[in-house]
Structure 1
Amino acid sequence: MKNSPISKIILEGRDFFVKRDDLIDPYLAGNKYRKLYTLLKTPSKTYDTLISYGGTQSNAMLAIAAMCKQKGWKFLYYTKTLSQTQRNQSEGNYAHALNLGMQHIEIQNEQYKDFISALRLNFNSKTCLVDQGGAVKDAKLGLAVLASEIKEQKESGTIAKDIFSLATPSGTGTTALFLALALPQYKIYTVPCIGDVEYLQEQMQALVNIPDNLVILQPKKKYHFAKPYKEFIDTYEKLLLGGIAFDLLYAPSMWQELLAQTDEKILYIHSGGVSGNESMLKRYSQKFRGAL
């Protein structure tokens, strides 16, 4: 794969640069491509089944489904019990993942935590488990490849020589963490999009110690993941006017805090996930009629 390109966007009078990892693949793109890089390079015959778990809005779920389709692996995905509306979705990440061959299994909410904890107990050598969001130590290799691309593009002048700050939003924090480790000369900004700062730090510390160059920005208020917010759709539309579509789950919070808490030149690592906008925009339209 060639290095993902660099774009420029102006937001509230500031110049930002964007590494377009969203253009790698329609489904298997962004930080999920980086996290799954090791598995993508794994010979297909190594496994016959991949198991993961999480929510039906998950970008990781869709990326894993696309990867398993390529590899010829069975993909089992566990979630808590869905509402009838979720089961009937005909668009968005869940519907796309099912079309790619994902086998979805619902677990009763009260049993879910214990069930997930016991998943590893009955594995054989042909089965691979990917934790929620792709939070695995093997993601380190894919982020090292991303770091190498950034260094190469900096040397070639594609990335301005005076940029020493990067930004990427966090679910589990895997991308920001390993990127910070691979690029100690850069400041890496991130925000917690699932849970608070303390939760994000716990997720990161479970993988490796947090380096000093990783800066977690505290959001101005507590947001519930995947819930529509007027300020999020406003930010999304400003970015879209600038020429780039970003996801509605992670990007708005990151961009809000970059505008509020930073002032230097920044390279934003596009996390992909725009395939989920199809269903999210429908929800925004229903909640804020006339706003879209």
Structure 2
Amino acid sequence: MFEEIYSPVQKINLAPFNNLFVKRDDLIDPYISGNKWRKLKHILTKAKTENKTHLVTFGGAYSNHLVATAAAAARTGFTSTAFVRGEEVKNEMLLLCHLFGMKLIFVDRESYRDKNLLFEKHFSDDADAYFIDEGGASPEAIIGCAEIIDELTTTYDHVFCAAGTGTTAAGLLAGIQKHHLKTKLHIIPVLKGGSFIADEIANYVALSQHLQLHLDYHFGGYAKTTDKFISFIKDFIASTGLLVDPVYTAKMFFAIIDLQKQGVIKKEEKILAIHTGGLLGMFGMKDKF
């Protein structure tokens, strides 16, 4: 379904680190970016093998997943529909979805909680429809995200990744275990009360001593921020030339720097940060900058 693409690993200069590298999954595609491409590639292959032609998924009004699904559908011959959480709005992300041919159905937040019911209500009589969970969470997505570890040509002391649902984290953990690495996997939940991420990971892969969750870098919750954090993002981008978003990747880099100050990781250790893309989501917080 998708052409195989291997994102580069680049070293970034950020004091005081000597060996800080970034897996640039954000460079995979401008619209099917980062872990979205990883998650969708095997999902769409499965949908095709089941002779489905209509992708149905879920997300918020600034969801990178919706844009990625719409773009992937358009490129691979599927039609697409998304249930969008909340009142009807227009923004840059939904414009892209519309241009890629995605039909949008806005639903109230209470109805949105039961995604299977929404799918059955609207598409039970559509034999071509294929259910894709919010964010692409699925066993197929785990396989795709595990391939990040498969692609690495060297080993690292630490791998860092921001997490919303835990799907990418589960894939990374599965890859580390598959290759019998000693690498520590540090997951930065971006939601307040992110300890549930461990349970989500455990739905797909056995937890192990490789995994460490750091729960104190959510800055108030998903899509929440502070003046201090916005200042950090501006300084980080200007000093490294690496664009990060305030919802996911910036929280990860803030955590890396803070954990080094705490002595959890050492500046000379070899560290890999997974840049999961999603930069278009910055439009949803443009007023903060």
State the TM-score, normalized to the length of structure 2. 0.84
Q: 1:47 to 1:165 in 2, by over 3 A?
A: same
Task: Select which of 130, 142, 166 maps to 1:140.
Answer: 142
Number of residues paired by the alignment?
269
Match of 2:228, SS state, is: helix
Aligned residues of 2:25 and 2:34 also touching (Cα < 8 A)? yes
Matches within 5 A, 1:131-280: 131-150=133-152, 153-154=153-154, 163-184=156-177, 185=181, 186-220=183-217, 223-241=220-238, 242-261=240-259, 262-263=265-266, 264-280=269-285
Q: 1:12 to 1:63 in 2, by over 3 A?
A: same
Question: For the residues of structure 1 that align with 2:37 and 2:234, how far apart are their CA atoms?
Answer: 25
Mean alpha-carbon deviation: is it higher for 24-33 or for 3-12?
Answer: 3-12
How many percent of aligned residue pairs carry the same amino acid?
29
Question: For the residues of structure 1 that align with 2:46 and 2:17, how far apart are their CA atoms?
Answer: 41
Aligned residues of 1:171 and 1:192 also touching (Cα < 8 A)? yes
Match of 2:22, SS state, is: strand
Match of 1:197, SS state, is: coil
Question: For the residues of structure 2 that align with 1:188 and 1:197, how far apart are their CA atoms?
Answer: 16
Question: For the residues of structure 2 that align with 1:50 and 1:3, how far apart are their CA atoms?
Answer: 25
Match of 1:168, SS state, is: strand
Structure 1 runs not aligned, ≥5 long: 155-160, 286-292
Q: Which position in structure 1 is the counterpart of 2:97?
A: 97
Match of 2:80, SS state, is: strand
Aligned residues of 1:172 and 1:203 also touching (Cα < 8 A)? yes
Task: Select which of 14, 20, 35 maps to 1:11.
Answer: 14
Deviation at 1:53, TM superposition (A): 1.1
AA aligned opposite 1:270: H
For residues 101-143 of structure 1, the C-alpha deviation after alignment (integer angstroms, 9 at most, x for no partner) is 22111112333324x2414542655221111111111112212
Aligned residues of 2:58 and 2:83 also touching (Cα < 8 A)? yes
Match of 1:200, SS state, is: helix
Q: Which position in structure 2 is the counterpart of 1:118?
A: 117
Match of 2:113, SS state, is: helix
Structure 2 runs not aligned, ≥5 long: 260-264
Deviation at 1:164, TM superposition (A): 2.4
Task: Select which of 23, 40, 65 maps to 2:27.
Answer: 23
Question: For the residues of structure 2 that align with 1:108 and 1:267, how far apart are their CA atoms?
Answer: 39
Deviation at 1:35, TM superposition (A): 1.0
Aligned residues of 1:228 and 1:283 also touching (Cα < 8 A)? no
Aligned residues of 2:87 and 2:107 also touching (Cα < 8 A)? no
Aligned residues of 1:37 and 1:141 also touching (Cα < 8 A)? no
Question: For the residues of structure 2 that align with 1:210 and 1:190, how far apart are their CA atoms?
Answer: 13
- 1:284 paired with 2:288, answer yes
- 1:128 paired with 2:117, answer no
Task: Select which of 33, 37, 42 maps to 1:33.
Answer: 37
State the TM-score, normalized to the length of structure 1. 0.83
For residues 215-257 of structure 1, the C-alpha deviation after alignment (integer angstroms, 9 at most, x for no partner) is 1112156522113422332232233120211222111221122
Question: For the residues of structure 2 that align with 1:203 and 1:26, how far apart are their CA atoms?
Answer: 28
Match of 2:277, SS state, is: coil
Question: For the residues of structure 2 that align with 1:279 and 1:74, how far apart are their CA atoms?
Answer: 26
Matches within 5 A, 1:68-87: 68-82=73-87, 87=89
Match of 1:79, SS state, is: strand
Deviation at 1:19, TM superposition (A): 0.9
Aligned residues of 2:60 and 2:86 also touching (Cα < 8 A)? no
